[in-house]
Structure 1
Amino acid sequence: MATEVHKSPSLPPYPQMILKAIEALNEENGSNKSSISKYMESTYGDLPAGHSQLLSDHLSRMKDSGQLVFWKNNYSKPNPNAPPRRGRGRPPKPKDPLQPRPVYPARPRGRPPKDPNAPPTPAKVKMSSGSGKPRGRPRKMARPTGGLGASTTTSATTTTATGRPRGRPPKVKPALNEVSVQQ
């Protein structure tokens, strides 16, 4: 059993009521959905039960077909003399209708496979930056081996060229003194 919306014979079609409401309200930037609805309720009175949904559907259809212009949450009639309103962002490049767009075949996903018959490519030559220094972080210097300033290894820690062991010094334990007990 389908529900039917009974239209009273005195009600004109929704698009006609919407256009009449926008003309009657005559607001500078157009009329919003609630003001259009209030005008329709006050003028026609006996509206169908799903009035708000019907109004929304007809407004969106009229907007898509170009009968209404939607700008800043308001609906208005399109002005044929007004320049088109620009949206946000960079405008698209003009398309030349005489120049056909090239059609390329769809590329497969992923990296293309190497050609096994291709000759090997020569090694790339590194270019200097002009300052004489190589780019990036400098390499670590090799540790010196032997000689006067060489580091020596002890059983627990490694001593550096200054003669001090690396890391935190060991905790010093106080020397134990013998206590003589007199009787």
Structure 2
Amino acid sequence: MATAEVNKPPSLPPYPQMILAAIESLNEPNGSNKTSISKYIESKYGDLPAGHTTILSHHLNRMKDTGELVFWKNNYLKADPNSPPRRGRGRPPKPKDPMTGSDLTPARPRGRPPKDPNAPPKPVKPKVSSGSGKPRGRPRKMARPTGGMSGTTTAAMATGGRPRGRPPKEKTAMTEVSVEH
């Protein structure tokens, strides 16, 4: 038991208290940055835990989130109790309305709601002509002429001499090869 008491480091005040004391004593007009706060704590309290910088960063972030400190231009300042809270970036969240709780209204099911069979039918709009006499959209394809000739010559005649697409592959005549042993 005696060795545990000897190896025990001297008691340090809580980190938030040390941070606030450092900011007050440094008394910089634009606030104090993390390194100056850390150097002040090291000089005043001497023997600090091994992860001092990590612990300091954690407490600075927590104090900034709770509103005890204000982070402005990479410096930490004590929060002024009379100043309005600083807004973060982005759109603020919508306020929660206590009247629209899940107890009062049931949740709507997913998907499109079913048609109401008792609803009156929708009125039909009369078609309005464009005035030009032509139908709207792309015109229909003309049917291919069918005749007594073969399909390739008919297509060649219709298009003006040359058939459409890639020409057919020429088939070479197969010759038998005899293999002698």
Q: Which residue of 2 aligns with 1:55?
A: 56
Structure with more of its chain in helix, by fraction: 2
1:40: Cα distance to partner?
A: 0.8
Alignment CA distance shift 1:134-1:72 (3 Å):
farther
How big is each residue's C-alpha offset from its partner over 1:111-134, in whole Å with a ceiling of 9 and x where there is no partner? 33445x446844753775978687
Q: Which residue of 2 aligns with 1:176?
A: none
Q: Which residue of 1 aligns with 2:24?
A: 23
* Length, aligned pairs only: 158
1:55-74 superposed matches below 5 A: 55-74=56-75
Of 156, 160, 173, which residue of structure 2 is paired with 1:159? 156
Q: Secondary structure at the match of 2:71?
A: strand
1:1-183 superposed matches below 5 A: 6-9=8-11, 11-90=12-91, 101-103=99-101, 104-115=105-116, 117-118=117-118, 121-122=121-122, 125=125, 138-143=137-142, 154-157=150-153, 158-159=155-156, 161=158, 163-167=160-164
Q: State whether residues 22 and 36 of structure 1, in contact with CA within 8 Å, keep that contact through their aligned partners in structure 2.
A: yes
Structure 2 residue runs without a partner (length 5+): 1-6, 169-181
Q: Secondary structure at the match of 1:159?
A: helix
Structure 1 residue runs without a partner (length 5+): 172-183
Q: State whether residues 128 and 134 of structure 1, in contact with CA within 8 Å, keep that contact through their aligned partners in structure 2.
A: no
Q: State whether residues 151 and 159 of structure 1, in contact with CA within 8 Å, keep that contact through their aligned partners in structure 2.
A: no
Q: Secondary structure at the match of 1:21?
A: helix
Alignment CA distance shift 1:86-1:128 (3 Å):
farther
**Matches of 1:39 and 1:122, distance apart in 2:** 78
Q: State whether residues 152 and 163 of structure 2, in contact with CA within 8 Å, keep that contact through their aligned partners in structure 1.
A: no
Give the TM-score taking structure 1 as reference length. Answer: 0.58
1:65: Cα distance to partner?
A: 3.0
How big is each residue's C-alpha offset from its partner over 1:64-87, in whole Å with a ceiling of 9 and x where there is no partner? 332212335432211234444333
Higher alpha-carbon deviation: 22-31 or 125-134: 125-134
Q: Which residue of 2 aligns with 1:181?
A: none
**Matches of 1:120 and 1:153, distance apart in 2:** 60
**Matches of 1:13 and 1:83, distance apart in 2:** 27
Alignment CA distance shift 1:169-1:36 (3 Å):
closer
Q: Percent identity?
A: 57
1:39: Cα distance to partner?
A: 1.6
How big is each residue's C-alpha offset from its partner over 1:120-168, in whole Å with a ceiling of 9 and x where there is no partner? 8447537759786877xx223241677xxx9996432513656333326
Give the alignment's Cα RMSD to 1 decimal: 4.3
